[in-house]
Structure 1
Amino acid sequence: MRHFYSFLLCILFFSCSKPPIVSQAPTLQDGERLITLNGVKHWVKVEGSKHGTIPLVIVHGGPGGNHYVFERTAGPELEKFATVVYYEQRGSGRSQAPTNPDDYALPTLIQDLKALQDSLAAPKITLLGYSFGAELSLRYAVAYPEKVDQLILSSPAELSPANMLVQIQGFYSIGDAAFRTAIENVLKDTTTLTQKYNKVWGLANGATVDKFLFVDAAKAQLNRQLWQQSKLNNTGLLAKVYLKNNKADLLELAKGLRTPTLLISGLHDKNGGLHTALGLKSILPNSTHKIYEQSAHFPDIEEPARFAQEVKSFLRNR
């Protein structure tokens, strides 16, 4: 009988406007699992379910990154007071990749997140997105404002032309003479801005990237050690699709969104997070902006205690 009712529900779903496909839905109980969202198995982990709070869904950056580092830095602090839901986007971290290498468009990622919320049976969620995850979280709130209780956007970094220039300038500011000359040569060529942007990133070695993303060298080393320990790789496919389809329209779309929003920026963020957050603060009427003076692109790693405390205060004030 139960299977019969499930069959009827499937008929009902497909007779409507093709809602997100969800199977193997998780409950809000602690633990890791793989669940199928829109035909792709996604890695999901719940911690802190005993608190019974509105689920705090953590949305990672990259594009194409994972939560391994966050789970071991700021994550445990958040789990002390909130029901935390980690999930990794399609083709990222421990999640399955779609069969079509181009199936990573932002509307698809938004529907995956919608399917996740449906699987949690949560009428409301709070989204905590960092870097690209902040952009995805904000776009989700624009698409489904009635489903999002609060937004926490840490180092939001839409990869607009302006942000590409911010990043190139950031690399130039930390480079030695040879690196700066190489950047100057790239800027003189006749390629597009996106091609120049990719070339500059290609010039940077690991030490340069660490200096670009962090103020504290020890925290940069911790990040790199955990990343290596995870044995998780970014395939680059999600980022490739993102760059190909990016319209740099985030501020236009989000203008006037009334969802209570906490913006978090590192003062030394060379990846564009401070630039984007300042723009968002001007168009989100219910937003608060916190600047972390000892951080670059990852305040959650460089100042985790303050990060957790301000998230806690923001949630409680709601």
Structure 2
Amino acid sequence: MATSTHHTARTFDGTELAFETIGSGPPLVLVPGGPRDSRYLEDLGGLAESHTLIRYDARGTGGTPAPADPAKYAYPSLARDVDALRTHLGTEAIDVLGHSAGAVVAAVYAGHHPDRVSRLVLVAPGPDFFGGGEDVGDLLERRSGEPWFGEVVSAAQGLAQAGPESSPEEVFALLDRYVPAAYGAWEERQRAHAATQRTQFSLEAWKHFHGNGDRTEPERFLPTLGQVPAPVLVVTGAADALTGVSAGDATAARFPSAKHVSIPGAGHYPWVDNPRGFSSVVAEFLAR
């Protein structure tokens, strides 16, 4: 991996965002999913060879402290953190890449500040916000021959029944059992990547990500996406049994100028399963 340097940037409520820069070339701000710290993004399958990746830790993860007010874990506040990085960088507009839940944050930021985003990349966007997702069950069923399939189905049922009274240990145990479905394969590389997730993930941030928990909340923000003039690339993994492929089509349809590319053999973390396939698609888009 390319050499990294560590920094902090003060955001709107005084929180110090911890971030690092990796690689060289034009800057690309990475918005992590989870919410979690940014280490799991690695160098995005070698994308740091052509770009300077600005990789920051979400609130309450990694080197970024938790907010005093849990309401500031909600994605509209997280979108304001992206602008704090832009201000810190001293530039009028930035290229932004958001992964999973970070795709929501990046999209909301672009919708609110369309003049501050030059190019937007949304990786593995979820159907809860953007729509789609009807293919998740089929994508999982296609892998019914895998030795982990029974455990994953059982964990999915447990997660569906989990509520606010569930302990962090119970939720993390279920997530651990479900995680093979998030990858295009379940080999040594994927296992090593998955093994780091528990220490990076913030269950508290996850609970408050949607604010008041009202799933109609996206309706406040989705109309703004139609006003984003920047070119948009939506990337999914063709084997992503976590958020699916159809969510990529639904996401791209929200923007005036967007295309959807699905990476063969990849799951929810396409830079892990097919690093060159992923990084080449993103680098080509950013170079236009």
Cα deviation code 1:111-141 (max 9, x no counterpart): 1211111111011100011111111111111
Scaled by the length of structure 2, the TM-score of the pair is 0.80
Q: Secondary structure at the match of 2:245?
A: helix
1:204 and 1:170 map into 2 onto residues whose CA distance is 23
2:17 alignment counterpart: 42
Cα deviation code 1:251-274 (max 9, x no counterpart): 444235331011101122222252
Q: Name the one with the larger helix percent.
A: 1
> 5+ residue gaps in structure 2?
none
Pairwise CA distance, 1:283:
2.9
User: Residues 56-205 of structure 1 correspond to what in structure 2 (within 5 A)?
Assistant: 56-62=28-34, 64-71=35-42, 73-74=43-44, 77-160=46-129, 175-176=149-150, 179=153, 183=157, 195=163, 202=171, 205=174
1:311 and 1:151 map into 2 onto residues whose CA distance is 10
2:203 alignment counterpart: 236
2:283 alignment counterpart: 312
Q: 1:274 to 1:164 in 2, by over 3 A?
A: closer
Letter matched to residue 123 of structure 1? E
The answer to whether the Cα contact below 8 Å between 1:41 and 1:90 also exists between their aligned partners in 2 is no
Letter matched to residue 302 of structure 1? D
The answer to whether the Cα contact below 8 Å between 2:238 and 2:266 also exists between their aligned partners in 1 is yes
% identical aligned pairs: 22
Cα deviation code 1:66-87 (max 9, x no counterpart): 221222x526x22211122111
Pairwise CA distance, 1:164:
8.2
Q: Secondary structure at the match of 2:128?
A: coil
The answer to whether the Cα contact below 8 Å between 1:251 and 1:280 also exists between their aligned partners in 2 is no
Q: Secondary structure at the match of 1:283?
A: coil
Q: 1:303 to 1:206 in 2, by over 3 A?
A: same
User: Residues 253-268 of structure 1 correspond to what in structure 2 (within 5 A)?
Assistant: 253-268=224-239
The answer to whether the Cα contact below 8 Å between 1:61 and 1:133 also exists between their aligned partners in 2 is yes
Q: Secondary structure at the match of 1:89?
A: coil
Q: Secondary structure at the match of 2:49?
A: coil
The answer to whether the Cα contact below 8 Å between 2:152 and 2:181 also exists between their aligned partners in 1 is no
1:202 and 1:30 map into 2 onto residues whose CA distance is 33
1:48 and 1:145 map into 2 onto residues whose CA distance is 27
The answer to whether the Cα contact below 8 Å between 1:131 and 1:273 also exists between their aligned partners in 2 is no
| 1:222 and 2:192 are equivalent in the alignment | yes
The answer to whether the Cα contact below 8 Å between 1:68 and 1:227 also exists between their aligned partners in 2 is no
Which runs of 4 or more aligned residues in structure 1 lie more than 3 Å from their structure 2 counterparts after TM superposition? Answer: 160-175, 177-183, 201-208, 225-228, 250-253
- Number of aligned positions between the proteins: 272
Cα deviation code 1:47-84 (max 9, x no counterpart): 335x3x2x20011100x21221222x526x22211122
1:203 and 1:176 map into 2 onto residues whose CA distance is 18
Letter matched to residue 258 of structure 2? S
With 164-173 and 90-99 compared, the bigger mean Cα shift is at 164-173
Cα deviation code 1:283-306 (max 9, x no counterpart): 323112111120121112111111
Scaled by the length of structure 1, the TM-score of the pair is 0.73
Larger Rg: 1
2:39 and 2:234 map into 1 onto residues whose CA distance is 23
Letter matched to residue 289 of structure 1? H
With 174-183 and 209-218 compared, the bigger mean Cα shift is at 174-183
Q: Secondary structure at the match of 1:111?
A: helix
| 1:276 and 2:276 are equivalent in the alignment | no
> 5+ residue gaps in structure 1?
1-28
